[in-house]
Structure 1
Amino acid sequence: MTAHFPFDNSYARLPARFFTRQDPVPVEAPGLIAVNEALAGRLGLTLPDDPAETAAIFAGNRVPAGAEPIAQVYAGHQFGGWSPQLGDGRAILLGEVVAPDGARFDIQLKGSGRTPYSRMGDGRAWLGPVLREYIVSEAMAALGIPTTRALAAVTTGEVVLREGRMPGAVFARVAASHIRVGTFQFFASRQDTEALQALADHAIARHYPDAEGPAGLLDAVIAAQADLVARWMGVGFIHGVMNTDNMTVSGETIDYGPCAFLDAYHPQMVFSSIDHYGRYAYGNQPQIAVWNIAQLATALLPLMPDRDAAIEAFTAAVNGFAERFDDAWHRVLAAKLGLAEIREGDAALAFDLLERMAKGEADFTNTFRALSGAEPEHAAAEFSKPGPFEEWLEKWRARLASEGRDEATRIAAMQAANPALIARNHRVEEAIAAAVAGDLAPFHRLTEALSRPFDPNPADLDLATPPRPEERVTQTFCGT
């Protein structure tokens, strides 16, 4: 069967200064690790019957008809420091496909070789980060969180030098787009108003067709990001590197580098090895999101006819992020606690539980999942000292009773909001270590199990077990 990708490459039709045209750099010996057949069908792709031909496409050795490969340029604030030019240093955007339902998606190859934006990098990826992004992005999709997706992963038959000699790999990523806050910053910092206007028009047409001008775009991005970060918090997800070049205007989670999920809950938990001061800690994520949004607002100012009026309006919009996030976060927490409606005092009840969880070193995911069962008192087993939790439990039961919701409905609703399975850090590392040693079975098992986070196969419930002390992952690393 001949490969077919329904390409229509609108970003490649923007001015030449938005990107560099470049094919992926071929690899020595492509080998297929995984291909997401369901996602390929969603995109309307036809893939070859021969796995070797599929591997050649997703390794970058064979560019499918209709592709217009480019490396995108952007800038960004990285850990608060300004980098005037970044860009796709190890990725090539093959192009955009239009799915059967009319939705548009980017297909990008990560680890596809050096580009003009590689700086000192080699443009390649090693197997570990490729499998991490595959596992976690698909887990996030199954959790119902807006995210880029994993289309395929391939080995390259080459060695990549990182801490040592690592097996090379390429990751095929799907996104609604790869337009970042940093893309706007790049053109704004160069006072290129013409390009900035073209980018804003493109982003509005692609993501928010009802938005009216730059102000409408800003408002839409604020709403999307407030909802996204609240959803992250609801599953204990820590992005780890919330730079402005890692925030999409579409509101999708992107760039699963040193990301992690909470085991024991603590609001200041940090895993990223490069986050030395805890800037991107779990509990700091809403504040960082609004900081990033402020940078987008600043970048959009040159497009406004009355700068002073725009500053006032944009400041109000950015300041409004907090209320939008709080609304989204309170909805997430209410669902996790099985509350059918939000009342005064519900947020305080939820935050009281979180505080007791932090002091009791309770597992985030398992505490809420246990609460979701027919015997919620079993959640006490997650706490180092059960007394404070049992005090809270009585308050929660009284609040539930005030709604008169029947128990079966409460359990079903809570189990749909509280996953039994997440991509636990030690399980991800376990799968990576096995793959490096030549065994992909743990990767495939974990990926399959995480596709059913709310209704797991009973045979996969061992994956819900928190790490033993010797299994704990204390640091995660960026793939570059």
Structure 2
Amino acid sequence: MSISDSGTLEAAREGGAIRFTFDNSYARLPDRFYARLDPTPVAAPRLLKLNTALAERLGLDPAALATPEGAAILAGNRVPEGAEPIATAYAGHQFGNFVPQLGDGRAILLGEVVAPDDKRFDIQLKGSGRTPFSRGGDGRAAFGPVLREYLVSEAMAALGIPTTRALAAVATGQPVMRETPLPGAVLTRVASSHIRVGTFQFFAARGDVEALRILADHAIARHYPEAAQAANPYRAFLEGVVARQAALVAQWMLIGFIHGVMNTDNTSISGETIDYGPCAFMDAYDAATVFSSIDQMGRYAYGNQPRIMQWNLARLAEAALPLLGETEEAALAVANEVLASFAPAFEGPYIGGLRTKIGLSGDRMGDAALAGDLLKAMAENGADFTLTFRRLCSAAEDEAADTRVRSLFTDPAAYDAWAPRWRARLAEEGDPAARAAAMRAVNPAVIPRNHLVEAALEAAMQRDDLAPFEALLDSLSRPYEDQPGADEPPTPAEMPYMTFCGT
């Protein structure tokens, strides 16, 4: 760390013994794609948590990252050799309203690491200080939201959901001001890339077709190389994004995940879940469930997520129109044809996933209605989403286990009315034990229960006690294992639950 002539802290640019295999392709794009700047150092970096397994996956040395020198890099006080720190530019629709310039207001992309298997990953510091895109913000992150994103993103990875990952969390030793002073932290986030729908919107809003083409070519090379061989590479690219995002939101729905802030700047081109702000997992099943304090109209409610994702993809197609056809009419025709593929691309994995969750391996007429009727009964009777499906795993091989399922319904008769139809359909399936095992592989026993996440964050923030965080993280790393005591829903005193944006 050093002091500039103006008396401010500056990041030291040092290599040291910690080696990152950087190859920074995004930083080689034209300057209007980003702003070049170093992270703003913090007062007293202290490593809170290092993701050892992920570090090894990236070809990094966990022991070196766990040293004070490693903490300095992960906090932004040192810039590792080969890094080219940038804050990327993007725009976005936020709650349906277009903002022509957003960008990384509190994040710095250190660079891209090429892992031992030749896969490429962004290394980003979130909470690393002001950038030209901060729009009056402090550029910092609070302790709680950093640990929250660490927990939930790693839980999503363990559940098998495409997601950004958390490499490390570092305390800064200095407060950030929100409603009250809060301890600060920096999250090191790993992603396939940080290219967003809003990145395309940024250049479309400026009429910069050259930049749109450069960005699309870069995204194709990085995420959809097969599209380069298509007759219309940009159509093939759009088709790929639509297919991935449709499958992603289907996976969210199947585990009861609510993103909470599905703005277009929070929609990744790679098809990964990104930007864990006011997200949460549903307890009692209700399609209208909203947790976010800023989503007062329920725009991003659980049941709205497929529709919103399609809307976001329509904004991507809108931005890409200059690339999709030689005339506006031709481009619109291409865009509409591709967007029409969203519904089947979502419904296939979603309905197929529901079928698997209730133990059906074949595809029979009436299966979707059977699953839908269960969801309807759950909604009308306050049945816990995760527990209902997990307990059905046992009921699928032993009718005596119905008792634990029906106890989740305020009126158990609702389950009793549904169960005989389910059992009649199960009779057409195979071995009960194999069927139950297949169900347990898709119905998690453990999710990031909101009340447990909050308890872990409170212990960390109020008492500097990371033991509950570590215990919860360990539990979430094994979501498909039965863990007595780890699957309890919240008590009435722990509800209603509300999440808040960390900015």
State the TM-score, normalizing by the size of structure 1.
Answer: 0.98
Shift of 1:270: 0.3
Give yes or no for the alignment of 1:310 onto 2:331.
yes
Secondary structure of the corresponding residue to residue 7 of structure 1: coil
Structure 1 SS opposite 2:174 = strand
Counterpart pick for 2:92 among 76, 81, 90: 76
Partner of 1:352: 373
Paired position in structure 2 for 1:38 = 53
- CA positional deviation for 1:50: 5.1
- CA distance in 2 between counterparts of 1:81 and 1:51 reads 44
- The residue correspondences of 1:370-449 to structure 2 (distance < 5 A) are 370-373=391-394, 374-375=397-398, 376-377=401-402, 378-403=404-429, 405-437=430-462, 438-449=464-475
CA distance in 1, matches of 2:58, 2:475: 23
Is contact 1:425–1:473 with CA below 8 Å preserved after alignment? no
Q: Which residue does 1:7 correspond to in 2?
A: 22
Residue 38 (structure 1) shift: 0.4
CA RMSD of superposed structures (Å)? 1.1
Distance in 2, Cα, partners of 1:132 & 1:393? 38
The C-alpha deviation readout for 1:60-114, integer Å capped at 9, x for no partner, is 0111111100000000000000000000000000000011111100010000000
Q: Structure 2 matches for 1:226-245, cutoff 5 A? A: 226-245=246-265
CA–CA separation in structure 2 for the residues paired with 1:343 and 1:8: 50
Aligned partners of 2:65 and 2:71 also within 8 Å: no
TM-fit CA distance, 1:341: 1.6
1:262 counterpart residue number: 282
Is contact 2:243-2:342 (8 Å) kept? yes
Greater Cα shift, 41-50 or 274-283 = 41-50
Give the counterpart letter for 1:282 in structure 2.
Y
Using the aligned pairs only, state the percent identity. 62
1:307 CA drift (Å):
2.1
Q: Contact between 1:426 and 1:473, CA under 8 Å: does it hold in 2?
A: no
1:428-478, Cα deviation, whole Å (9 max, x unpaired): 11111000121110001111110000014x4xx322100001112521011
Distance in 1 separating the partners of 2:237 and 2:207: 19
Q: Give the corresponding residue for 2:198.
A: 182
1:366 aligns with 2:387: yes
Candidates 124, 133, 146, aligned match of 1:130: 146
Structure 1 runs of 4+ with >2 Å offset: none
- SS of the equivalent of 2:407 reads helix
Partner of 1:156: 172
Deviation for aligned residue 1:334: 1.1
| Distance of 1:339 and 1:104 partners within structure 2 | 37
Q: Answer whether contact 2:292 2:499 (CA < 8 A) is retained.
A: yes
Alpha-carbon offset, residue 15 of structure 1: 0.3
Distance 1:470 1:9, change over 3 A: same
| Distance across 2 between alignment mates of 1:354 and 1:337 | 11
Deviation for aligned residue 1:182? 0.2
Mean alpha-carbon deviation: is it higher for 57-66 or for 136-145? 57-66
SS in structure 1 of the partner of residue 183 of structure 2:
strand
Distance 2:78 2:61 in 1: 15
Relative to structure 2, which stretch is displaced further, 377-386 or 11-20? 377-386
> How far did 1:367 drift?
0.3
Residues 1:159 and 1:350: Cα distance change in structure 2 (over 3 Å) = same
Contact 2:111 2:124 in 1 (8 A): yes
AA aligned to 2:383 is: A
For residues 125-159 of structure 1, give each alpha carbon's deviation from its aligned partner in whole angstroms, at most 9, with x where no partner exists.
Answer: 00010000000000000000000001000000000
SS of the equivalent of 1:95 reads strand
Q: Secondary structure of 1:464's match?
A: coil
Q: 2:215 aligns with which of 185, 199, 205?
A: 199
Give the AA of the match of 2:300.
Y
Tell me if the contact between 1:420 and 1:464 (Cα under 8 Å) persists in the aligned partners: yes
Q: Is the 8 A contact 1:2 1:46 kept in 2?
A: no
Query: Could you tell me which of 250, 253, 257 is aligned with 2:270?
Result: 250
Which amino acid is 2:405 matched to? A
Structure 1 Cα separation of the partners of residues 415 and 179 of structure 2: 43
Q: Name the amino acid aligned to 1:334.
A: R
What is the one-letter code of the residue matched to 1:407?
Answer: P
Q: How does 1:446-461 map to 2 (within 5 A)?
A: 446-456=472-482, 458=483, 461=484
* Cα distance per residue 1:304-331 (max 9 Å; x no partner): 3232112012112112211211111111
Q: Secondary structure at the match of 1:417?
A: coil
Q: Which amino acid aligns with 2:486?
A: L
Alignment partner of 1:287 is 2:307: yes
Q: 1:52 deviation in Å?
A: 1.6
Go from structure 1 to structure 2 and tell me whether the alpha carbon gap of 1:450 and 1:387 turns closer, same or farther (over 3 Å shift): same
Q: Which runs of 5+ in 2 are unaligned?
A: 1-15
Contact 1:90 1:115 in 2 (8 A): yes
Matched residue type, 1:467: P
Output the CA distance in 2 between the equivalents of 1:250 and 1:51.
32
Give the aligned length.
476
- In structure 2, how many angstroms separate the alpha carbons of the residues matched to 1:164 and 1:51? 31
